[in-house]
Structure 1
Amino acid sequence: MHKAAGVHSGASFVASLDDEREVWYDGQRVDVRTHPAFAGVLGELGRLYDLQHSDAHHKEMTWTSPQTGHPLSLSYLAPATPAEFAAKTRNSHLWMEHSHGQLPRIPDFVANVVVGLYDYRHELGKVDPQFARNAENYYLYCREHDIALTHAIGDPQIDRSASLAEHPDNALRIVERRADGVVVRGAKQLATLAPYCHEVMVYLSPAFFMRSAPEYVIWFALPIATPNLRLMCRESQTEHRNSFRHDLSSRYDEQDAMLFFDDVFIPNHRIFLLGDCQTAAAGFARISAWALYVGQIRFYHRLRTFLGVAGLAAKAIGVKDFREIGDQLGELTSYVELVRLAIVGLQNELRPTSGGHLAPGVTLALDAFAAQVSARVAQIVRVVCGSGLVMQPSEADLANPVLRPLLERYMGGKDVDVVFKSRLFRLATELVSDRYGMRQELYEMWNRGDIVRNRIALFESYPARAAIEANIVALLDGASAALHAANSGPEST
């Protein structure tokens, strides 16, 4: 357990990862603090944590613990007033702005899931009073120690056509119940940022709640360095990359991991819910309210990055004033502005929760919109940049005295030299064409859940729908009455 010291600095965060975590990369067990595949993101996380101590942002990113007097991250503030919510929003904008929207599972995100868990504690307490106490204690622990969390809610892709009875490994399950806790077996996938986190929070996806399988319903949190919890990371896009060729992936490839729970013991005090499908299904959205809002702030800053790259690229090759390119840039700008306005709207539709806090408006429409337009945004950058995404000189090419005059003449741009243009178009390539960009695009498609399910849920839960439909019925009734009167008048005889 970490000593309570308030917000991390970059150095204290890196030092806090010195534990017995079992992280596997490319067939080898590794130390994330020293392995080159993890260096880029580790450095960026350290830089972001240092913002909390900087003169420029300390007051905008922290608040004072009522228990210890230590500065705490505003990511962990459970807002009870509009001013507190506004302070949280500003903090999230700083995290996302300083990472250019490139870290979807930045520590600010799952911290807000823990805020949601704390807010939902009274409902958990109706199932078992101990669950409420556990949720509150865990929130306080994370808050006071600036805990970095991942969450693991995706199930392995083994045979999703099979039932749980036919293939019990399709979902994490309890295999032993003890007086002091439970033992779980199974796997969870795509735990983003997991190698760099202190803890993992697990709350199963709604798909299994709908199947009324209470034996699979378990919410809990554990240290990453828990015995028999193994993390297998995907191939890194950071290792052997430099900032000239790979400005984004060398710094922001945040890693995804499969988590293998090989008969892992969960003590009672770390369990937040067991066996109650209804409470789990109702709580899945409740505990994500603040995190989903933060996710939209991150998407906004990601769109701004696309807009900045596309605009600079259009200028660099002299096409900004071409009508068809201006149309594409205007479309991209409209997405940026629509998301900004939606975030403002969410902030101005604060709603009180049963837990005594203020939650933002529902994000379902924005969730669907982001998944819908992210591929289109990438396509706009491809159109603007054209063949420049394919052919740019390397750092060695630029350093070659024979090639350099040719590169300046034939591969420079409008009012920019060949070095700037090469780096800019390489940045664009990472955003929309290479393996890093494709991973990010897949993430945008799926990280908010199934877009079809979200659209259906949006329609079914839309509060104005009944009034709108009633207006249409009244319009039809009025038209029918008018038609009947016309047909019953003197002229009809």
Structure 2
Amino acid sequence: MTLLSPDPRGLLTGARYLAELDDGRELYLDGQRVPNPAEHPAFRPAAEELGRLLDLQHLPEHRELLTFKDPDTGLRLARAYQPPTTLEELRVQRRSAEFWHAEALGQQGRSPAFMASIAVGVHDFRHQLASADPRFGANAEAWYRHCAQNDLVLSHALGDPQIDRSANPLDDPDLALRVLSENEHGIVVRGAKQLTTLAPLAHEVLVYLSASFTQGRAEQFVVWFALPLNTPGLITLAREPLGTAAWGHGHPLGARYDEQDAMLFFDDVLVPWDRVFLLRDAGLARRGLARINAWSAYVGHIRYRERLRTLLATATLLAESIGVSQFRNIQEDLGRLAGYAELTEYFLDAAENRGALTDAGLFAPGDTFASRVWSAEVAGDAVDIVRRIGASGLLMQPSPGDLANPRLRPHLERYMRGRETDVELKSRLFRLAWELTGDGFGQRQDLYEYVHRGDLARNRINVFHRYDQSATRARLLALLDPATSVQEARA
């Protein structure tokens, strides 16, 4: 039994992508099954925006930046799927990701450009997986090629259900996805995964390590595999949509970029053997977690830089529209936000300068783990700056219906205009700022920045343990050594 396509189809078009979402998946929203997310009003705008971005790959002016020629098939494939073997190839990946995330204003955390880089990481780690079982290395390589040669849109599932984080899954096995059994066809898994961003709009999901359950006898919960989202027994439960066109220009971001987060329920799902990459090897899983995410951390930082740029430009336009852009305190806030955006450039440059070849021959960005901690720490302040500048204006702006009302319009023009800004443009601007920072979509994006890099306290502790203090400690201990002090006194 196999779920890998024998006939690669190459680059996705928007039309093909939307058609492929009608695949019989078991997707639910608000208790109702959604037969085809591409036709449902809650999912269609975001799906169509993804389709628009995928179509850009086919334009002649973007061909070399966004695609490359596959040496095995001769097909043009998405640049994000190209395994970089040199620093220059990595920088081409950077420019390609910059283009994608600029188009999406930094709002697509789980863009195809991001998830393709994780598939590259799985490809890079294949030899280590093969050391545990030769089949797993071969499976990882075949799956990467399947994704790349069909330009699949991917999601990934890491977290386990928030049932009782103080308990041990050995006492309550529902706390984590687990392997129930093995047979000649594959493994059978039961459990749930959260928070699977983009799952309702993706072709496949990659499931890998839950870092919480890799100690001692809990290795039965450690498994890596990938499945199409229409696999029998796999249920996708989407959260309430955050983007709606019900109020006209009030939700331009949410309508396009609400990626949808989801719970996945694995109701005794059969995972074919050729879809299994790792099984019950906690040590290998822990080593692999950082390795396969080396490129996604880099691409994720490119996306975050674009989000910071979007927040900065929005804050600047707000300040200009109400005549406060020259105020000292406002310029200080804008300067801090500009500093955040510029620092992301330094982190990307550092990742490139620290890059090195892996044992599989790929050029991987160097570790900038502390930059991920920093990103989570400043994310809230970046949003707060926009809120402070917009202040109460974020809460009260006329709707399209208000603007069209002849009784209201003169009052709106007189009392709700801005400095050299008409009331309609000001309304659209402030509503955009509210969506970025205050409504359901904005709050979700803010929370995403805080949580998607992992537990902040744990990450800070890891930075402490990773940082090499040995030389400075030795100098201090030498300074504190009584024998050293006596010698210096005599000298």
Calculate the TM-score normalised by the size of structure 1: 0.96
- Is it true that 1:281 corresponds to 2:286 in the alignment? yes
Residues 187 and 259 in structure 1, CA contact (< 8 A), matched pair in contact too = yes
- Residue number among 389, 400, 411 corresponding to 2:416 in the alignment: 411
267-276 vs 450-459, which moves further: 450-459
1:204-283 superposed matches below 5 A: 204-241=209-246, 243-283=248-288
Question: Identity of aligned pairs, percent?
Answer: 48
Residues 156 and 189 in structure 1, CA contact (< 8 A), matched pair in contact too = yes
1:208-265 superposed Cα distances (whole Å, 9 cap, x missing partner) = 1135521111100001010010000001122443551111111111101100000000
Give 1:350's aligned amino acid: G
Residues 243 and 250 in structure 1, CA contact (< 8 A), matched pair in contact too = no
**Deviation beyond 4 Å, 4+ runs, structure 1:** 480-483, 485-489
- Residue number among 408, 433, 438 corresponding to 1:433 in the alignment: 438
49-58 vs 274-283, which moves further: 49-58
Aligned match of 2:33 = 29
Q: 1:361 Cα shift?
A: 1.4
Residues 118 and 296 in structure 2, CA contact (< 8 A), matched pair in contact too = yes
What SS does the aligned partner of 2:268 have? strand
Aligned match of 2:143 = 138
182-191 vs 235-244, which moves further: 235-244
Aligned match of 2:486 = 484
Alignment gaps of 5+ in structure 2? none
Residues 214 and 275 in structure 1, CA contact (< 8 A), matched pair in contact too = yes
- Is it true that 1:466 corresponds to 2:474 in the alignment? no
- Is it true that 1:156 corresponds to 2:161 in the alignment? yes
Give 1:144's aligned amino acid: Q
Aligned match of 1:100 = 105
1:308-359 superposed Cα distances (whole Å, 9 cap, x missing partner) = 0000000000001101111111111110001112112212221111121111
- Residue number among 58, 77, 82 corresponding to 1:53 in the alignment: 58
Aligned match of 2:455 = 450
Calculate the TM-score normalised by the size of structure 2: 0.96
Aligned match of 1:380 = 385
- Is it true that 1:402 corresponds to 2:419 in the alignment? no
Residues 159 and 167 in structure 1, CA contact (< 8 A), matched pair in contact too = no
- Equivalences, count: 486
How far apart, in 1, do the equivalents of 2:405 and 2:475 lie? 72
- Residue number among 393, 401, 404 corresponding to 2:398 in the alignment: 393
Q: 1:472 Cα shift?
A: 3.0
Distance 1:450 1:211, change over 3 A: farther
Residues 397 and 431 in structure 2, CA contact (< 8 A), matched pair in contact too = yes
How far apart, in 1, do the equivalents of 2:374 and 2:217 lie? 30
How far apart, in 2, do the equivalents of 1:482 and 1:32 lie? 73
Q: 1:77 Cα shift?
A: 0.8
Aligned match of 2:13 = 9
1:100-159 superposed Cα distances (whole Å, 9 cap, x missing partner) = 000101111111111111111111111101111111111111110001110001100111
How far apart, in 2, do the equivalents of 1:331 and 1:359 lie? 31
Aligned match of 2:365 = 360
What SS does the aligned partner of 2:308 have? helix
How far apart, in 2, do the equivalents of 1:103 and 1:211 lie? 37
- Residue number among 176, 182, 186 corresponding to 1:177 in the alignment: 182
What SS does the aligned partner of 2:325 have? coil
How far apart, in 2, do the equivalents of 1:318 and 1:472 lie? 54
- Is it true that 1:320 corresponds to 2:322 in the alignment? no
Residues 220 and 271 in structure 1, CA contact (< 8 A), matched pair in contact too = yes
Give 2:137's aligned amino acid: A
How far apart, in 1, do the equivalents of 2:369 and 2:381 lie? 19
Give 1:25's aligned amino acid: L
- Residue number among 26, 41, 44 corresponding to 1:39 in the alignment: 44
Aligned match of 2:207 = 202
What SS does the aligned partner of 1:7 have? coil
Give 1:48's aligned amino acid: L
Residues 212 and 277 in structure 1, CA contact (< 8 A), matched pair in contact too = no
Distance 1:243 1:476, change over 3 A: farther
Aligned match of 1:342 = 347
Give 1:351's aligned amino acid: A
Distance 1:90 1:212, change over 3 A: farther
Residues 392 and 422 in structure 1, CA contact (< 8 A), matched pair in contact too = yes
